[in-house]
Amino acid sequence: MMPVLDIQGLTVDFSTTEGIHYVLKNVDLNVNKGEIVGLIGESGSGKSTLAMTVLDINSRNRKRSGSIRFMNEELINAGTQRMRELRGRHIGFVPQSSMNALNPLVRVSKQFTETIKDHINMPAQQMLELTEKTLEMVAIDPSRVNSFPYEFSGGQRQRIMIALSMLLSPKLIIADEPTTALDATVQSKIIDLLKEVVEQKHTSMLVISHDLHTISRICDRIYIMYAGRIVETGSTEQIMHHSEHPYTQKLLASRLPLMSEHVKVKGISGKPPSTLMEYSRCEFLERCDRASVICKTKRPPECIDNVRVACHLGEGT
């Protein structure tokens, strides 16, 4: 089956006054129809750059190579006009800090109808009905359609942004850190909502997060990103219960315990490497307690084709 999103060999650099930042390095990632795929990593690992590169909204000083196919259409050279048509209509986006992304002084109804008008000719009454129906799907009372965003709570505004991303029934929704800045109970409800959206709208989703434990609950497959590379990929079961990469294992061990648990929380010590350098060794070296001599001199295999784990451990087994 043709993937909805098929990224191959995506490499992205940014030129700055400090030098070149090597942000994404030979990334392969795909999302199939009806799937929820997680892209997980620490802040600064390149996850949001991947989302913005797919949507072509971070093009300043950017150099990119590789392939981004959406519904079999190559997007790398699609052009500004085509990308504008695709964004919002065929690819929905829930941006980071999205509960603050709505204009607080413009009524919700207007923000929704403007999005519809950008893409489709529709009578005013039908636009209002579509807006109300979509708000209802995310459990926002449609009678509040003419309220201003500031009249809603943070969790409700997040729901409204999710509604906006799915308004025109896109084939793919990219949700960037959809639960950050929400308290645990609201987070859990938003996660459930994302799953409902995919099922009810027959869409697919790439969900980006630093929080493996929270997001894994709804994902079919997961990609783990470190320093701009995919370091492990697999089904949610493989990642959560049979992970092989030392970074994934540290992410799994660093979750916050539940109130009832008496476990010691292990953070991941050390910092990610600078994006200003190109490395001919494993980028996780300084933070890895299983490193050997080869890790200092040779890059591990890349997560492409059938390689699931980018690590020298397990090579030759």
* Residues in touch with ligand SF4 (CB under 6 A): 246, 282, 284-285, 288, 290-291, 295, 300, 311-313
CB 295 within 8 A of CB 285: yes
Helices (H), the chain: 47-55, 80-86, 108-119, 124-137, 154-166, 184-201, 212-216, 236-241, 246-253, 293-297
DSSP β-ladder status, 36-40 and 204-209: parallel
Q: CA 11 to CA 1: how far, in whole Å? A: 25
Q: How far is the CB of 240 from ligand SF4 (least distance, A)?
A: 19
Q: How far is the CB of 287 from ligand SF4 (least distance, A)?
A: 8
Is the Cβ of residue 92 or residue 228 nearer to ligand SF4 in the bound state?
228
CB 155 within 8 A of CB 186: yes
Is the Cβ of residue 87 or residue 312 nearer to ligand SF4 in the bound state?
312
Q: How far is the CB of 159 from ligand SF4 (least distance, A)?
A: 39
Is the Cβ of residue 220 or residue 302 nearer to ligand SF4 in the bound state?
302
Q: How far is the CB of 160 from ligand SF4 (least distance, A)?
A: 41
Within 8 A by CB and 6+ apart from 184, the residues are none
Within 8 A by CB and 6+ apart from 236, the residues are 38, 216, 219, 220, 221, 222
Q: What is the largest CA-CA distance in the chain?
A: 68
Is the Cβ of residue 140 or residue 212 nearer to ligand SF4 in the bound state?
212
Is the Cβ of residue 3 or residue 300 nearer to ligand SF4 in the bound state?
300
Q: How far is the CB of 300 from ligand SF4 (least distance, A)?
A: 4
